[in-house]
Structure 1
Amino acid sequence: MVNFNGSLRSQSDSKLTVDNRGYKYGDALFETLKVVNGKIFFWEDHYFRLMSSMRILRMDIPMNFTMEFLESEILKTLEANSLLQSSARVRLNVDRGEGGKYLPSDTAQVHFNISAEPHHDPFYTIDATAHCVVDLYKDYFVAPGLLSGLKSNNKAIQVIGSIYAKENDLDNCLVLNTNKSVIEALNGNLFLVKGDKIKTPPLEEGCLKGVMRKQILELLAKDVNVIVEEASISPFELQKADELFITNVIKGIVPITKYRKKVYGSDFAQSLVNKLNAKLRLLS
């Protein structure tokens, strides 16, 4: 069942048409949420990122789009799909409805839809036997700016980059900005570990304003044994790193195991996962 503007419908009756602006122009935003037993992980961060993104796209935010309202609609959707007492992946999509060409018509109104599917891991884990082989994706580059940091439906680089990764037997790719700095992976933010120094690209470089990125930076800020820096990462630094890992809300932390000829460990990433799960237990 899909929640379309508060009405639960089957996917075949979801009421999304070819005139929907999210479909026609990518005039839409989304949040991917991890929910366990009715608890939305980091919901406040997701909500405020969505509201900020809607303002950047000049969407008229409906008065009823409160944190409590959207949370109740998410939980209603989970219940309708028998996922309220289990682990689930939820997508909350917001678009400007229908009407107009590039310029929205005066009648265009903001709509939302929510879909949910089962997710097998209630907490975050790292599979020591899993591999994540990456390389640089250099066909297209991200231009830094406010729009590049949005979780919008304009994901052409991520789509064709994923196809490129599959064609080249890669598990992921690292994305470059127009200054040729490494800014993120196709599906998450990037962190680099070298000794006691941890680096991640700053938002000004064009990377996604990731919710999990924020959680990791908060955890690292409490660790007196490391030095954290939000700074540019050049491709040359990658092979000198001790560890590289990718972060997103669904998988948590994914260690990169190989970049070209360099093989990486995952001890620091594992220690972070343990701290992340401990934090979630306190919040539950």
Structure 2
Amino acid sequence: MININGNFSDNNQVLTAENRGYSYGDALFETIKVSNSKILFLEDHYFRLMSSMRIMRMEIPMSFTMEFIEAEILKTIEKNNLLSASARVKVQVHRNSGGLYFPTNKEVTFIISAKALDTDFYLLNDDAYQVDLFKDFYVAPGLLSTLKTNNRAINVIGSIYAKENDLDNCLLLNTNKSVVEALNGNLFLVKGNTIKTPPLADGCLKGVMRQQIINVLELLPDYTLIEESISPFELQKADELFVTNVIQGIQPITKYRKKVFVNEVSKMLLQKINVKVRLG
């Protein structure tokens, strides 16, 4: 069952040819993990969605409070019999049909869907996980690249490239040839006691789990966090690389080309994130 503006339907064919999210990518989305009716990092997701809608110049309905979004997510979870399970929830917002590039309708529609997940909290996946650079297309640094819009062509093509080359993931570069992120999450690099992640100015996604990791690291005196551009040459010199997103938590990278990595820091951070989730 999907939630369309508060009304539920089991018909997934909800789009028309005039849908602006489909026609022009005039849409945003949030991917949220819900565990046993607990919405993880709700406040971060909500404020990112509101900020993104403002940047996209969407008209935010007065009803779009955090309490309203929370209630609609939980109603969707209940309708899909997932109150006592873990679920991947997708909240999509698109501007309503009307106009060409210039929208003639200021109103928006939200769609919420949910699918079951296997794990309640975050588990460390220490299976082999190999990545390489995707260099066919580049991310443009700038504010729009930090948003979760429906314009994900580079992620789609990169995922096909990864599959064709027996890779588990790819790392994206921006037009300055700096490493920005992975296809499905933010990137962190560990070298000694220094941990680097690309800055938002480089065009990486403003990830919710990225921010959680930053918050945890700021409380650990043994590590120094730097938000700084990462050169491809740094990857093979790193002790550890890992990818973060709200569904998996932390995914350690085990191999980049000929370099094999450990996962000590990612394991430690994942434990602290799980503690934060349980206490939050």
The TM-score with structure 2 as length reference comes to 0.99
Q: How do 1:69-80 residues align onto structure 2 when only pairs under 5 Å count?
A: 69-80=68-79
Which residue of structure 2 lines up, in the alignment, with residue 181 of structure 1? 178
Q: How do 1:2-151 residues align onto structure 2 when only pairs under 5 Å count?
A: 2-12=2-12, 15-105=14-104, 107-128=105-126, 130-151=127-148
Aligned counterpart for 1:204 among listed residues 201, 205, 224: 201
Q: SS in structure 2 opposite 1:11?
A: coil
Quote the sequence identity (%): 64
Letter in 1 for 2:11: Q
Aligned counterpart for 1:219 among listed residues 216, 219, 243: 216
> Once the two structures are superposed, what CA deviation does each residue of 1:210-238 show, in whole Å capped at 9, x if it has no partner?
00000000000000001110001000000
Deviation at 1:85, TM superposition (A): 1.3
> Aligned equivalents of 2:252 and 2:65: distance in 1?
36
> Aligned equivalents of 1:248 and 1:40: distance in 2?
15
Deviation at 1:109, TM superposition (A): 1.7
1:164 aligns with 2:167: no
Q: How many residues align?
A: 280
> Aligned equivalents of 1:44 and 1:201: distance in 2?
23
Letter in 2 for 1:177: N
> Aligned equivalents of 1:87 and 1:167: distance in 2?
31
Deviation at 1:23, TM superposition (A): 0.6
Q: Are 2:58 and 2:106, in contact at CA under 8 Å, matched by a contact in 1?
A: no
Q: SS in structure 2 opposite 1:213?
A: helix
Q: SS in structure 2 opposite 1:153?
A: coil
Letter in 1 for 2:60: I
Letter in 1 for 2:213: I
Letter in 2 for 1:214: Q
Q: Are 1:193 and 1:241, in contact at CA under 8 Å, matched by a contact in 2?
A: yes
Aligned counterpart for 1:232 among listed residues 211, 226, 229: 229
Could you say what the CA RMSD is over the residues aligned between the two structures, in angstroms?
Answer: 0.8
> Aligned equivalents of 1:276 and 1:190: distance in 2?
16
> Aligned equivalents of 1:244 and 1:15: distance in 2?
40
Q: SS in structure 2 opposite 1:275?
A: helix
Unaligned runs of 5+ in 2: none
Q: SS in structure 1 opposite 2:52?
A: helix
Letter in 2 for 1:123: F
> Aligned equivalents of 1:268 and 1:95: distance in 2?
39
Q: How do 1:244-255 residues align onto structure 2 when only pairs under 5 Å count?
A: 244-255=241-252
> Once the two structures are superposed, what CA deviation does each residue of 1:111-161 show, in whole Å capped at 9, x if it has no partner?
000000000111111123x12100000001111111000000000000000
> Aligned equivalents of 2:170 and 2:141: distance in 1?
18
> Aligned equivalents of 1:24 and 1:138: distance in 2?
27
Q: Are 1:135 and 1:173, in contact at CA under 8 Å, matched by a contact in 2?
A: yes
Q: Are 1:98 and 1:108, in contact at CA under 8 Å, matched by a contact in 2?
A: no
> Aligned equivalents of 1:69 and 1:54: distance in 2?
16
Deviation at 1:99, TM superposition (A): 1.0
Unaligned runs of 5+ in 1: none
> Aligned equivalents of 1:194 and 1:162: distance in 2?
27
> Aligned equivalents of 1:108 and 1:23: distance in 2?
17
Letter in 1 for 2:86: S
Deviation at 1:108, TM superposition (A): 4.6
